[in-house]
């Protein structure tokens, strides 16, 4: 992800950079989130409206503010639904013969869960290919990413689910909220972002995301970072 800052002086984003560099999966998910928002300006505007309403323009977003940002949480969840960090999850192997759904599974069978396919199932999610964060405030408001609802398991489920779930989700919320609150975001040519995926163990864009960020707050506010 390449970010270009226009009309920007004395802006320090070292905290954002630190968070983005934490893991490639976190960076990848945030890239997808920004690309989806740029391609869906009405959703981007709703996110900014929530930030202005709940945070105001007199301060930067703080981690304690996240509990007030319901729509931001839904944006991250919908991004993880459409673009899970690991589309096929980790390999699981049965340790003994068992019966699953009426099928005999012999010991030593290796299983790859197609999370991407599962989370785009039209029987579970109406308009499965559409970016609709509102679904997690309405039809799927009781669904979370903690491995208890198998229709949304970007971090896996069970004893081998991702141990960084809570940290990663919080980092993504805080970073995305900080970016949207502090900057106007646009593509250099004003055209939609290419959403082509690159095949691999992790789900990343085939081409880098290029975006121009311009400050939307008073310059002294950025010194709070």
In a domain, 92, yes or no: no
Position 140 in a domain:
yes
Asked if residue 209 belongs to a domain, the reply is yes
What does the pLDDT look like over 140-162, one tens digit per residue? 999 999 888 899 999 888 877 87
Confidence (pLDDT) at 165: 83
**Ligand-binding site membership of 8 (annotated):** no
**pLDDT at position 23:** 61
Instruction: Tell me, yes or no, whether 104 lies in a domain.
Output: no
The number of domains in the chain is 1
CATH code for the domain in which residue 207 is found: 1.10.630.10
The full 3-state SS of the chain, as one line of letters, equals CEEEECCCCCCCCHHHHHHHCCCHHHHHHHHHHHHHHHHCHHHHHHHHHHHHHHCCCCCCCCHHHHHHCHHHHHHHHHHHHHCCCCCCCCCEECCCCEEECCEEECCCCEECCCHHHHCCCCCCCCCCCCCCHHHHCCCCCCCCCCCCCCCCCCCCCHHHCCCCHHHHHHHHHHHHHHHHHHEEEECCCCCCCCCCEECCCCCEECCCCEEEEEECCCHHHHHHC
Domain that residue 171 falls in: 2-85+116-224
Considering the entire predicted model, what is its pTM?
A: 0.85
Within-domain flag for 99:
no
Judge whether 182 lies within some domain.
Answer: yes
pLDDT for 158: 80
Residues in the chain where the model's pLDDT stays below 70: 1-23, 224-225
Give 102-120 pLDDT, tens digit per residue. 999 999 999 888 999 999 9
What was the pLDDT predicted at 24? 72
What is the per-residue pLDDT for 164? Answer: 78
Residue 141 lies in a domain: yes
Is 96 contained in some domain?
no
């Amino acid at each position: 992800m390449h970010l270009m800052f226009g009309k920007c002086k004395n802006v320090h984003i070292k905290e954002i950079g630190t968070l983005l560099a934490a893991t490639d999966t976190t960076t990848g998910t945030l890239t997808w989130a920004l690309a989806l928002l740029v391609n869906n300006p009405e959703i981007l505007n709703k996110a900014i409206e929530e930030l202005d309403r709940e945070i105001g323009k007199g301060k930067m977003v703080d981690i304690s503010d996240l509990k007030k940002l319901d729509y931001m949480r839904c944006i991250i969840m919908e991004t993880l639904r459409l673009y899970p960090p690991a589309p096929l999850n980790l390999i699981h192997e049965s340790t003994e013969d068992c019966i699953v759904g009426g099928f005999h599974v012999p010991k030593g069978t290796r299983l790859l869960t197609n999370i991407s396919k599962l989370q785009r199932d039209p029987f579970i999610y109406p308009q499965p290919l559409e970016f609709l964060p509102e679904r997690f405030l309405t039809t799927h408001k009781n669904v979370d990413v903690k491995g208890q609802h198998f229709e949304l398991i970007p971090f896996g489920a069970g004893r081998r689910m991702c141990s960084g779930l809570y940290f990663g989700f919080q980092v993504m919320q805080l970073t995305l909220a900080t970016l949207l609150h502090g900057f106007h975001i646009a593509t250099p040519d004003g055209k939609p972002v290419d959403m082509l995926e690159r095949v691999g163990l992790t789900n990343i864009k085939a081409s880098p995301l290029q975006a121009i960020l311009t400050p939307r707050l008073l310059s002294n506010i950025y010194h709070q970072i």
